[in-house]
Amino acid sequence: MNAFWQGLNEAIVMILRGDSATYEALFLSLQVTVYALFVSSVIGFPLGIWLAFSRFKFKRLVMNLIFTFMGFPPVVAGLLVYLMLSRSGPLGYLQLLFTPTAMVLAQILLALPVIIGLTYLGIQAVDTSVWELAYTLGATRWQAGWMLFRESRHAILGALITAFGAAISEVGAAMLVGGNIEGFTRSLTTSLMLETRQGNFSRALALGLILLLVSFFVNAFLVLYNQTQGIKHHARALD
């Protein structure tokens, strides 16, 4: 228990003092996850909407695969990206292995299925006649899709939070494809692992605490944003 309180103490000191290694790890983690979430959202949300509406032959199989990949073991995702990017791999010439970009790629592999799957389920749960209503009111197909997306924004928020949590907290892929290079690819989770291995439990605990705080603030921001979106209306547009 002593180690726990010591870790807590040290964490606060590290945050307040602005320990550079910790902040570097924090920024790398945030940067990698934000990029991965951005790419996954741009691809995943439209794809989820599209899947919710389209009918094709192997749809059930495709959805089963997506749901399976929602629980993709990070270390397997890391392995796949590793094989793609390794010198003898098909994308080896890009020389991306052991870079933050490789970490982003691995996290996309983890976040994308979560976003597609949860968007799909979210849209299934809302009343799809909203789409028809928008369409009869003159919306283009994309505008109508947007209206439906808007109706399912609580599910969308859930998708973002889940994907964020999965991406920022994973360590297997970051370790494999990032390589935990100090000052370059050392993220919160990989450095946490390193500190634990080296027996610096209080430092490791401090990093864990920072990770939790990051998650807390990001989620609080997302939830708050969602709420203000719900209340906001266009009254101003009239004046």
Among 50, 69, 135, 201, binds another protein (CB under 8 A): 135
H or E element, residue 54: none
Is residue 64 packed enough to be buried (19+ CB in 10 Å), middle (13-18) or exposed (0-12)? exposed
The answer to the question of residue 73 lying near another protein (CB under 8 A) is no
- Our CB check for another protein shows the closer of 121 and 147 to be 147
The answer to the question of residue 137 lying near another protein (CB under 8 A) is yes
The answer to the question of residue 157 lying near another protein (CB under 8 A) is no
CA distance 177 to 157: 29
Among 3, 59, 132, 212, binds another protein (CB under 8 A): 132
Give the binding range for another protein (CB under 8 A) out of 38-46, 140-148, 182-190, 195-203: 140-148
In the complex, least distance from residue 57 CB atom to another protein, rounded to whole angstroms: 18
Residue count, binding to another protein (CB under 8 A)? 23
Q: Are the C-beta atoms of 194 and 180 separated by less than 8 Å? A: yes
The answer to the question of residue 50 lying near another protein (CB under 8 A) is no
- Going by the DSSP 8-state scheme, the letter that residue 56 receives in this structure is -
CA distance 29 to 221: 18
Binding map of another protein across residues 79-118, x = CB under 8 A, - = no contact: ----------------------------------------
List CB contacts of 157: < 8 A, sequence separation 6 or more: 222, 223, 226
CA distance 186 to 142: 41
89 — alpha (psi -120 to 50), left (phi > 0) or beta? beta
The answer to the question of residue 134 lying near another protein (CB under 8 A) is yes
DSSP 3-state assignment of 216? Answer: helix
The answer to the question of residue 138 lying near another protein (CB under 8 A) is yes
The answer to the question of residue 222 lying near another protein (CB under 8 A) is no
CA distance 19 to 13: 9
The answer to the question of residue 124 lying near another protein (CB under 8 A) is no
For another protein, the binding residues (CB under 8 A) are 127, 129-130, 132-139, 141, 143, 147, 150-151, 230, 233-235, 237-239
